[in-house]
């Protein structure tokens, strides 16, 4: 008998699994492929927490896998003596998010750990802020970010408000994996937990403190005051958590012409108006762009459901059309705006720093150099950016982190939270739109000016989805093929160096010397090419995908696009 069939039968026979949950499993008793997908592995509690399809099974998001993760976290918190500091908990608009977040709270409460659960859905960055503001030992947010509606997820944050990193992540994972019997997972009655002061509800008070912190990050309120009546903003929360905080911050700063897409304003875990609630997907903007044309908007903005990412379209005043910004464009526009404004008003610190990930644009390097700001690069994932910010603080604030971003549509200005913040990104782009409007420029004009100043940098990524156990093996083989036989040339560009971040080595092809990456081990391959081109490959940590990133510097937008297409085609040939 296959191991996954054995696990399936164990669930059917277990006295811990509720009868209605067993009924869901009985309906697939003749579908071997479905049983295999649900039970061929345990839903892995990895460094990003849990993420999976909602449903019954070991490889699914459900009450049992969520509370197993929570019991492991509880055991770890108790070992660290942090139970009295408590855990902040937030959740998004997805199916089962309220239920999973409450079950997690009651599991922690049954272990004697205080919880501070938001009274309704909140953005992920506000959870990060709340952990720090309340002095909690940890935080949990129930979200699957921008994944399709059948998914949900569970992310763990530590006391600095950042997602868990080594060694904490591995130590928590060990505690979670040590739980083999669902019967050992604790829970308690909610009213009893409340009466004992273990279950606490938070809301408006934290909201106000969060908004006040964001307002401190405005660098040119004068531009807003003088121009906001001339700026028209279209915004969509894509049925998620961003609507109330975005409308609140923009109203408090003085913006009057903010138009929220009505069909997408209310939270809805089915995301009925989009195939995929991801601001990286142009299809997600169809309704917003329609409204923008009706209102003659200057800027069109969309948060993903947990509001940590932001997608942007800006008007081209020459054609009247709206230009799509990718994450690198948005990231660099904000970097240039913040640094230039701070330089103008005399608040740019001598120890200023910017942080990006290794798969983000090389344009950032040029911007940082121009303003004499130190640039730090790290592995993909905002938890790695947060780790560098923490190191700054531990080293007596050796550097002041002004701004951080990654190409996957996420950034944070300042350090009020330690995860990407789509709310502060909305605020800053609306502020920038005011400033450039004073100069007769749209945000697209501002982007063109950046290209003219630094060079025409362009980037793109593509991914290949390979589901199930067979797909996981294919992804593994692709990585090993490139790792063991790295190309010496890609798209007519010489490979100057090859970085294998699993081995923590960068091999210089010209000198044959090897240097340390000085970063944690990660299954990432990086090719640095001539003419400021590069490409990078890694498996996704949250989806059954292998991802390919690449960037070039061209003499014009057209030249950059041609170089980028050539590089993409060459990468696709390599993996055939």
Could you list the active site residues?
145
Question: What SS3 state is found at 140?
Answer: strand
Query: What is the rounded distance in angstroms from the CA atom of residue 22 to the CA atom of residue 13?
Result: 9
Strand locations in 466-544 (E): 489-490, 493-500, 505-508, 514-516, 525-529, 534-539
Question: What SS3 state is found at 394?
Answer: helix
Which residues, 6+ apart, have CB-to-CB distance to 263 below 8 Å? 273, 287
CA–CA distance from 223 to each of 117, 344, 413, 437 (Å)? Answer: 38, 13, 18, 9
**Taking a C-beta distance cutoff of 8 angstroms, is the pair 139, 156 a contact?**
yes
405 forms beta bridges with: 356, 411
Question: What SS3 state is found at 487?
Answer: coil
Query: What is the rounded distance in angstroms from the CA atom of residue 250 to the CA atom of residue 334?
Result: 17
**Taking a C-beta distance cutoff of 8 angstroms, is the pair 292, 227 a contact?**
no
Q: In this structure, how many other beta carbons lie within 10 angstroms of the beta carbon of residue 505?
A: 13
* Residue 472, both tokens: 């996981």
**Taking a C-beta distance cutoff of 8 angstroms, is the pair 402, 339 a contact?**
yes
Q: Write 211-215 long-range contacts (CB < 8 A, 24+).
A: 211/245, 211/248, 211/249, 211/252, 213/129, 213/416, 214/249, 214/416, 214/423, 214/424, 214/427, 215/249, 215/252, 215/253
Query: What is the rounded distance in angstroms from the CA atom of residue 134 to the CA atom of residue 506?
Result: 42
Query: What is the rounded distance in angstroms from the CA atom of residue 455 to the CA atom of residue 45?
Result: 42
With the C-alpha atoms ordered 146, 314, 459, 274, is the resulting torsion angle positive or negative? positive
Residue written as tokens 């923009």?
250
Query: What is the rounded distance in angstroms from the CA atom of residue 161 to the CA atom of residue 164?
Result: 9
Which residues, 6+ apart, have CB-to-CB distance to 330 below 8 Å? 310, 312, 405, 409, 411, 425, 429
CA–CA distance from 254 to each of 64, 258, 297, 561 (Å)? Answer: 47, 10, 17, 39
Query: What is the rounded distance in angstroms from the CA atom of residue 336 to the CA atom of residue 354?
Result: 11
CA–CA distance from 124 to each of 108, 214, 305, 402 (Å)? Answer: 20, 15, 9, 20
Element (DSSP H or E) covering residue 468: helix 468-484
Query: What is the rounded distance in angstroms from the CA atom of residue 75 to the CA atom of residue 111?
Result: 8
With 0-12 / 13-18 / 19 or more C-beta atoms within 10 angstroms meaning exposed / middle / buried, residue 518 is exposed
């Amino acid at each position: 008998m296959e191991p996954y069939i054995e696990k399936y039968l164990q669930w059917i026979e277990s006295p811990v699994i509720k009868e209605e949950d067993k009924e869901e499993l009985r309906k697939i008793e003749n579908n071997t492929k479905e049983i295999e997908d649900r039970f061929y592995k345990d839903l892995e509690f990895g460094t990003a927490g849990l993420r999976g399809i909602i449903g019954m099974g070991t490889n699914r998001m459900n009450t049992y896998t969520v509370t197993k993760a929570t019991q492991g976290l509880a055991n770890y918190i108790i070992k660290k003596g942090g139970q009295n500091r408590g855990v902040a908990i937030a959740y998004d608009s997805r199916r089962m998010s309220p239920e999973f977040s409450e079950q997690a709270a009651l599991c922690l409460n049954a272990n004697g750990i205080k919880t501070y659960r938001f009274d309704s859905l909140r953005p992920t960055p506000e959870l990060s802020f709340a952990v720090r503001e309340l002095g909690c030992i940890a935080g949990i947010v129930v979200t699957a970010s921008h994944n399709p509606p059948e998914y949900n997820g569970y992310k763990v944050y530590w006391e600095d408000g950042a997602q868990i990193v080594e060694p904490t992540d591995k130590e928590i994972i060990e505690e979670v994996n040590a739980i083999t019997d669902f019967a050992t997972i604790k829970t308690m009655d909610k009213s009893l937990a409340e009466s004992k002061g273990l279950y606490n509800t938070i809301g408006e008070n934290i909201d106000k403190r969060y908004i006040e912190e964001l307002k401190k990050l405005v660098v040119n309120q004068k531009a807003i005051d003088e121009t906001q009546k001339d700026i028209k903003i279209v915004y969509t929360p894509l049925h998620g958590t961003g609507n109330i905080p975005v409308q609140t911050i923009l109203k408090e700063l003085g913006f009057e012409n903010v138009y929220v897409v009505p069909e997408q304003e209310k939270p809805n875990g089915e995301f009925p108006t989009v195939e995929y609630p991801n601001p990286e997907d142009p299809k997600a903007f169809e309704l917003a762009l329609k409204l923008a044309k009706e209102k003659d908007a200057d800027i069109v903005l969309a948060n993903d459901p947990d509001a940590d990412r932001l997608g942007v379209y800006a008007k081209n005043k020459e054609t009247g059309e709206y230009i799509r910004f990718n994450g690198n464009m948005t990231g660099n526009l904000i970097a240039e705006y913040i640094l230039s404004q701070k330089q103008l008003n005399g608040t740019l610190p001598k120890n200023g720093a910017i942080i990006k990930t290794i798969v983000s644009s090389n344009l950032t390097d040029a911007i940082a150099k121009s303003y004499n700001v130190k640039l730090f690069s790290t592995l993909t994932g905002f938890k790695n950016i947060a780790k560098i910010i923490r190191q700054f603080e531990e080293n007596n604030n050796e550097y002041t982190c002004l701004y951080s971003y990654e190409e996957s549509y996420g950034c944070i200005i300042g350090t009020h939270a330690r995860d990407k913040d789509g709310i502060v990104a909305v605020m800053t782009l609306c502020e920038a739109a005011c400033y450039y409007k004073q100069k007769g420029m749209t945000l697209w004009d501002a982007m063109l000016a950046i290209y003219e100043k630094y060079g025409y940098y362009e980037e793109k990524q593509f991914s290949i989805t390979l589901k199930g156990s067979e797909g996981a093996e294919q992804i593994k083989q692709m990585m090993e093929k490139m790792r063991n036989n790295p190309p010496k040339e890609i798209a007519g560009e010489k490979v100057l160096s090859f970085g294998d971040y699993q081995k923590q080595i960068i091999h210089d092809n010209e000198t044959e010397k090897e240097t340390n990456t000085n970063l944690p081990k990660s299954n990432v391959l990086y090719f640095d090419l001539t003419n400021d081109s590069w490409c990078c490959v890694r498996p996704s940590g949250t989806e059954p995908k292998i991802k390919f990133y690449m960037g070039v510097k061209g003499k014009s937008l057209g030249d950059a696009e041609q170089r980028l297409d050539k590089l993409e085609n060459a990468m696709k040939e390599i993996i055939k």
